Amino acid sequence: MSIDFRKHGSSPASPAENKPSAGQAAEHTPASPADVAPAGTSFAETALRMGGASVDEARRTGVVDTADEQVDSLFAPQYQTTSSPVHRAVWDNHVPVELFRAEPAEADAATVRVMRDSLAVVRRYRSSGQLYDEHDKVSTDVRSELGDAGYWGLLIDPQYGGSGAPFRVFAPFLTRMAIEDPTVAGLASVHGCIGAVDPLRTFGTPEQKERFLPDLASGRKLSAFALTEPGAGSDLTALSTTAVRQGDDYVINGEKLFITNTGPGRVIGLVCLIEGKPAVLIAELPTEETPAVQYRDYGLYALKHAWNRGMVFRDFRVPAANLLEPMTGDGLTIAYHGLNLGRIALCANAAGTMRTMLAEMVPWARYRHTYGQPIAARELVRRRMGHLAGLIVACDALVEWCSGLIDSGYRGEMECIIAKIFGSEAQKYAAIDLYMKTHGGRSFLKGHPFGDNVHEFLAPCIYEGEGEMLGMAFFKSLVKHHGRTYFEPVGQALSGAGFNGKGSPSPAQLWAARSPLTQYAGWMMKERLQQSSSVELPAGMPRQLAEHARYAAHKLQRSRREISGTLRRHQLRLADRQCRMVELSQRVQDLTVMLCTSLYAARQENELIRESADSLCRTLKAKLEGTRPTDGDFRQLTGLGETIADGNPTFTSQVEPSAILMPGREE
């Protein structure tokens, strides 16, 4: 869970590497804009320069965009971003509803045993008060016994000593583990998703896998991913840690920061520069601090039960045989690949954490009386419980859906971004506006779950990419193909005719761009003449959920006109319209959550889950439409909360509320 793995907020219309550059096109015109786009630069860089960006920013953005495209090329065309469910829902002429639902996977008997035994380990240590050591970190004994249970090897293939669990099994299990302890659940994600395990499984050679994966599966070695640096977070091109080849080794010099699960004896995926290009080395850290590897501890409020450190490397030697070499691209390709798994895991963890919040709200609301009544009878408190139930169901839906896409072979970048943003923002909202407000001032007592963990509740908004930065990355992926098809040719033609992005093009410059402008005009005309296609929903969907699904699908289809209009309006300066990009991105995300949640809930037999999904979709629809809730909306939501307050165990049956809720009294 190394903090700040996020894409740079770059221009949304990035070109392919093999396109002619604007500088090359301009060489044949009398008014070459060489001062804006020197020969050899890509159109992405040209667009940013013409939009007012510096040469360095444009170059760095081009590097990040290239890495993103190289990750995409690792997948078969039918599983790349342009074939993803969200991209197709916006740009195709119909919404592929079947791609927005996934069936849960069944775990085999061996995996079930690993999960059961792992939960038992954590439950036993937690009940005895020994889950954390003298440093308030998950103890060595716990980590060791989890290794014996097979916990650290859930995602590793059986040939290397793991379980080989499908991600559709692993991710929902993290929700269950988060109920026992969110940090233990988070460490499984750090180790298996964004740590050294996924890079080795995906990019390692057979020899590297044989050498590292058995120890990682058994827990004899735990892993981390060392990417972030003091000056490199959202801008991954600012890396400064270097690796220089000397004989059979690489010699590492540099500093890393905010690296979770790192420490003596760990195995890390180390991102560094080799001959000026990003690369990843699998590095085995020494079992104690040495002059070559020194740790920097700092006061960090979040992640308090896991080691999160900085590292300083001074002539640290790593065997050259530990270099990971992707089929295409470089170290940024490897860094981006594992992030999707980590983003799903964050959403899964939020679903478990919010179940604990709800379980601790119910008994307190029944115990606490004001003016002769328990606050559980109050409409506002019931609304909070009902709303929290809807957030939980939506997270469950996103975890199941995104995990299914990953197991089916999709890259799933856009979908996993939605899960990450929704899950982390839902947990933050639930903690502050639902959980804290219900418990009142006692929330800030030492020993209270809120006061003791508030930073843990808020920090996921930053992990695996800060939400708004990811929203811009989502928007960029959503519009890239459309921008290349219609706007890039216009920009190249105008640049070739001498237009520098300032003011309006001259008639002569517009004439030079007449062919691509005509092509885009044809797309616009077709859009205006095309009628909305009907949405084919699964048979037997409850009426209200079907209504939500149709609404979301219809709005997703209509969103492409507004998105294209935004590209047309802001053109080359869209990179600086970050607020507009984030707002449009969020609308598409909210519609996707509605569609996914309604389809998920329709398959559940539990009526409370269906009601919770309905309430969540009503809330999102009101947000999207900018309307006020109706009295019917309030009745539906508070009725849901009443059912939960009266003891319905759908979301809370596996949670043991903290004793601090009712000190000195029994229910």
pLDDT tens digits, 421-445 = 999 999 999 999 999 999 999 999 8
Give the pLDDT score at 36.
Answer: 34
Selection from 621, 612, 620, 588 nearest residue 415 by Cα: 588
Q: Indicate the residue among 332, 360, 394 that finishes a domain.
A: 332
What is the total count of domains within the chain? Answer: 3
For 57, half-sphere exposure in the C-beta direction (CA atoms, 13 angstrom radius) is 15
- pLDDT tens digits, one per residue of 529-552: 887 777 899 999 999 999 999 999
Residues 189, 295, single domain; the answer is: no
Q: Is residue 367 part of a domain?
A: yes
Residues 341, 463, single domain; the answer is: yes
Helices (runs of H) and strands (runs of E) counted in the chain: 24, 10
Say how many C-beta atoms besides its own lie within 10 A of residue 608's C-beta: 17
**Residue predicted with more confidence, 427 or 58:** 427
Distance CA 598, CA 601 (A): 5
What is the mean pLDDT of the segment spanning 522-528? 92
Distance CA 297, CA 286 (A): 17
What residue type is assigned to position 648 of the chain? Answer: N
What predicted TM-score, i.e. pTM, was given to this entire model?
Answer: 0.90
Residues 345, 315, single domain; the answer is: no
What is the mean pLDDT of the segment spanning 82-103? 95
Residues 323, 353, single domain; the answer is: no
**pLDDT higher than threshold 60 for residue 611:** yes
Rounded to 10 degrees, the C-alpha dihedral 543/548/553/556 comes to 170
Residues 372, 400, single domain; the answer is: yes
Distance CA 280, CA 142 (A): 30
What is the mean pLDDT of the segment spanning 473-499? 92
The CATH number for 429's domain is 1.20.140.10
Distance CA 621, CA 626 (A): 8
Q: What is the CA radius of gyration of the chain?
A: 26
Give backbone dihedrals phi and psi of 316, rounded to 5 degrees, phi first: -80, 125
Give the pLDDT score at 62.
Answer: 58
Q: Which of 348-352, 575-579, 615-619, 661-665 is predicted with the least confidence, judged by mean pLDDT?
A: 661-665
Contact 252, 272 (CB under 8 A): yes
What residue type is assigned to position 547 of the chain? Answer: E
**pLDDT higher than threshold 60 for residue 375:** yes
Q: Indicate the residue among 283, 301, 332 that finishes a domain.
A: 332
**pLDDT higher than threshold 80 for residue 635:** yes
Selection from 543, 431, 631 nearest residue 622 by Cα: 631
Selection from 339, 349, 75 nearest residue 227 by Cα: 339
Give the pLDDT score at 501.
Answer: 74
Full domain range(s) for residue 440: 336-467+651-660
Q: Is residue 455 part of a domain?
A: yes
- pLDDT tens digits, one per residue of 286-295: 999 999 999 9
**Residue predicted with more confidence, 186 or 26:** 186
* Residues 6 or more apart in contact with residue 653 via CB below 8 angstroms: none
- pLDDT tens digits, one per residue of 545-581: 999 999 999 999 999 999 999 998 887 678 788 999 9
Residues 308, 371, single domain; the answer is: no
In Å, what is the CA distance from 312 to each residue of 241, 258, 322? 10, 12, 20
- pLDDT tens digits, one per residue of 297-353: 998 999 999 999 999 999 999 999 999 998 777 888 888 888 899 999 999 999 999
Residues 183, 294, single domain; the answer is: no
- pLDDT tens digits, one per residue of 199-237: 999 999 999 999 999 999 999 999 999 999 998 777 777
- pLDDT tens digits, one per residue of 586-598: 999 999 999 999 9
Residues 344, 305, single domain; the answer is: no
**pLDDT higher than threshold 70 for residue 28:** no
Q: Is residue 611 part of a domain?
A: no
Give the pLDDT score at 54.
Answer: 53
**Residue predicted with more confidence, 147 or 194:** 147
Distance CA 38, CA 414 (A): 33
Residues 438, 346, single domain; the answer is: yes
What is the mean pLDDT of the segment spanning 360-380? 94
Residues 314, 372, single domain; the answer is: no
Q: Which of 271-275, 446-450, 527-531, 551-555 is predicted with the least confidence, judged by mean pLDDT?
A: 527-531
What residue type is assigned to position 205 of the chain? Answer: T
The CATH number for 248's domain is 2.40.110.10
Contact 202, 322 (CB under 8 A): no
Q: How many residues does the chain have?
A: 667
> Mean pLDDT score of the chain, rounded to an integer?
88
